[in-house]
């Protein structure tokens, strides 16, 4: 049984969420009206997972999340609006330690929540089994008199290459979902300005969030990070974030490789689709000039296409289970024998640099 704490200042939303999760046999429910009540429930109810509204009186969702992750870390799924402010707040929540988010519908809340019920239940159920990094907010937790010490991470699976490197021009293709924004931050901030291959990213997100994600990453990375909203030539030193609610694909125009946003297709269940990104790149480059990176995320997006790419001569890296918030996508790649390297998140950038030495 999954113990779920629903935190929202709206009585209607609490009622509707209670009905949605009450229809599921594996949930036990408790409710809080604001952040202060949620912190009390954290002590008395000890939930396995929490849904947390961003905007609440007395203590808002971000302040409450900050306290949860310092006092008694639990998987948290944020409920956020589809506005620019909502996107910025959501990205901050993910940096603070939230596992995932669900965008609140606009218009009639009763109709909107009913339409998103399947997504909400799936994400909360997945979050309940998500693994929070042991080092998450460790210094703050120690200050809060919680026991613990900074763990040493041990690499698992296949080690990074010692000297092997790829020649010529090519592309790095990155796929991620649940837990992805903080993982992308770790990966991309570790790559140097002169990294020789363009990097394309398929991060499962709504369209109103991917622009904010690209701006955030651009502000902290040596590489230039942009959202793909129009046909954009691919050049070294750039990271291209696929626009949400669509797919990002690779094509050629006048002999030049470009990234472009394409309408989502029903045969690809997640968007932006990693499988579709990888397969589009293979239409224009040999597999030997492609490197795939599959990081934290529920589901299996990217696993099939990257396994096919590896079989054709490409290189692939899967994030290891020890650091992935949800070892769904990378785990599927490993189970398909599609990963050349299985590495903890902090080691992936170094592996890429060994494969593609800066010129």
Domain of 241 in residue numbering reads as 171-355
Domain count, the chain: 2
Q: Which of 8, 9, 100, 301 is catalytic?
A: 301
Residue 156 located in a structural domain: no
Domain end marker among 126, 143, 160 = 143
Tell me phi and psi for residue 259, to 5 degrees.
-100, 140
153 domain residue, yes or no: no
State whether 188 and 327 are in the same domain. Answer: yes
The verdict on residue 154 lying in a domain is no
**Are 7 and 53 within 8 A, CB to CB?**
yes
pLDDT for 337 equals 97
- Euclidean distance between CA atoms 93 and 78, whole angstroms: 8
**Residue from 81, 177, 190, 280 carrying the catalytic annotation:** 177
320 is catalytic: no
106 backbone dihedrals φ, ψ, rounded to 5°: -90, 165
DSSP per-residue codes, 316-345: EEEE-TTT-SSBSHHHHHHHTT--SEEE-H
Q: Looking at the structure, do residues 304 and 194 belong to the same domain, yes or no?
A: yes
One domain, residues 139 and 275: no
Query: Quick one: DSSP state of residue 297?
Result: B
Provide the CATH number for the domain around residue 43. 3.40.50.2300
Whether residue 162 lies inside any domain: the answer is no
Examine the residue annotation and report whether 301 is marked as an active-site residue of this protein.
yes
Residues whose CB falls within 8 Å of the CB of residue 245, separated by 6 or more in sequence, listed in order: 206, 207, 264, 271
**Rounded to whole angstroms, how far apart are CA atoms 84 and 147?**
38
pLDDT at residue 85, as a whole number? 80
Q: Residues 94, 100, 103, 104: is their CA dihedral positive or negative? A: negative
Q: Does residue 157 fall inside a structural domain?
A: no
Local confidence pLDDT in tens for the 359 residues of the chain: 999 999 999 999 999 999 999 999 999 999 999 999 999 999 999 999 999 999 899 999 999 999 999 999 999 999 987 777 889 999 999 999 999 999 887 766 766 788 889 999 999 999 999 988 765 554 554 444 433 333 333 334 455 444 367 878 899 999 999 999 999 999 999 999 999 999 999 999 999 999 999 999 999 999 999 999 999 999 999 999 999 999 999 999 999 999 999 999 999 999 999 999 999 999 999 999 999 999 999 999 999 999 999 999 999 999 999 999 999 999 999 999 999 999 999 999 999 999 986 65
* Same domain membership, residue 68 and residue 214: no
190 and 280 together in one domain:
yes
CA dist 44 and 250 (Å) reads 52
Q: Residue 259: its pLDDT value, please?
A: 98
Alpha-helix runs per DSSP H in 160-269: 180-188, 207-220
Decide if 213 is inside a domain: yes
Kindly state whether residues 233 and 329 are assigned to the same domain.
Answer: yes
Same domain, 233 and 328: yes
**Which of 313, 258, 316 has its CA nearest to residue 287?**
313
The DSSP secondary structure of 107-151, one letter per residue, reads: S-HHHHHHHTHHHHHHHHHHHHT----TTTTHHHHHHTT----PP
- Give 33's DSSP letter: S
Rounded to whole angstroms, the Cα distance separating 302 from 332 reads: 9
CA distance 323 to 349: 14
Q: Using CA atoms, how far apart are residues 148 and 195, in angstroms rounded to an integer? A: 37
Identify whether 148 is part of a domain.
Answer: no
Q: Residue 344 contacts by C-beta under 8 Å, 6 or more apart in sequence?
A: 153, 154, 155, 156, 319, 320, 322, 323
Last residue of a domain, one of 143, 159, 179: 143
Q: What is the CATH number of the domain that holds 307?
A: 3.40.50.180
Catalytic pick among 204, 208, 247, 280: 204
Report the pLDDT value the prediction gives residue 354, as an integer from 0 to 100: 94
> Quick one: 91 and 207 in the same domain?
no
**Domain co-membership, 292 together with 338:** yes
55 as an active site residue: the answer is no
- Sheet containing strand 341-343, strands side by side: 224-228, 238-242, 199-203, 171-176, 290-294, 315-319, 341-343
- On whether residue 132 sits in a domain, the answer given is yes
Residues 215 and 138 in one domain: no
In a shared domain, residues 128 and 197? no
Packing angle, helices 117-128 and 11-22, rounded to 10:
70
User: How many whole angstroms separate alpha carbon 350 and alpha carbon 14?
Assistant: 46
Q: What is the DSSP letter of 153?
A: P
Same domain for 192 and 121: no
């Amino acid at each position: 049984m999954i113990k779920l704490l629903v935190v929202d200042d709206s009585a209607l939303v609490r009622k509707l969420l209670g009905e949605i999760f009450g229809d599921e046999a594996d949930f036990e429910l408790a409710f809080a009206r604001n952040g202060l009540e949620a912190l009390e429930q954290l002590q008395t109810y000890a939930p396995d997972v929490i849904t947390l509204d961003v905007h609440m009186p007395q203590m808002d969702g971000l302040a409450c999340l900050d306290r949860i992750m310092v006092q008694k870390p639990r998987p948290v799924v944020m409920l956020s609006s589809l506005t620019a402010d909502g996107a910025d707040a959501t990205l901050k929540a993910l940096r603070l330690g939230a596992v995932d988010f669900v965008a609140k519908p606009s218009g009639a809340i009763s109709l909107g929540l009913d339409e998103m019920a399947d997504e909400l239940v799936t994400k909360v159920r997945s979050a309940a089994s998500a693994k929070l990094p042991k080092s998450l907010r460790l210094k703050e937790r120690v200050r809060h008199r919680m026991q613990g010490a900074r763990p040493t991470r041990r690499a698992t699976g296949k080690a990074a290459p010692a000297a092997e490197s790829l020649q010529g021009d090519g592309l790095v293709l990155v796929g991620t979902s649940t837990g992805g924004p903080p993982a992308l931050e770790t990966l991309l901030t570790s790559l140097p300005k002169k990294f020789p291959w363009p990097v394309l990213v398929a991060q499962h997100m709504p369209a109103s969030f991917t622009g904010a994600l690209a701006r955030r990453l651009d502000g902290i990375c040596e590489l230039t990070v942009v959202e793909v909203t129009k046909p954009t030539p691919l050049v070294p030193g750039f990271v291209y974030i696929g626009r949400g609610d669509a797919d990002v694909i690779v094509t050629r125009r006048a002999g030049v490789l470009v990234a472009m946003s394409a309408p989502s297709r029903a045969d690809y269940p997640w968007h932006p689709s990693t499988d579709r990104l990888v397969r589009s790149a293979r239409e224009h480059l040999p597999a030997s000039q492609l490197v795939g990176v599959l990081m934290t995320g529920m589901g299996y997006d990217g696993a099939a296409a990257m396994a096919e790419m590896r079989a054709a001569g490409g290189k692939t890296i899967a994030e290891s289970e020890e650091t992935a918030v949800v070892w769904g996508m990378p785990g599927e790649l490993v189970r398909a024998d599609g990963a050349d390297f299985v590495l903890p998140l902090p080691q992936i950038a170094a592996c890429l640099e060994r494969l593609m030495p800066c010129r």
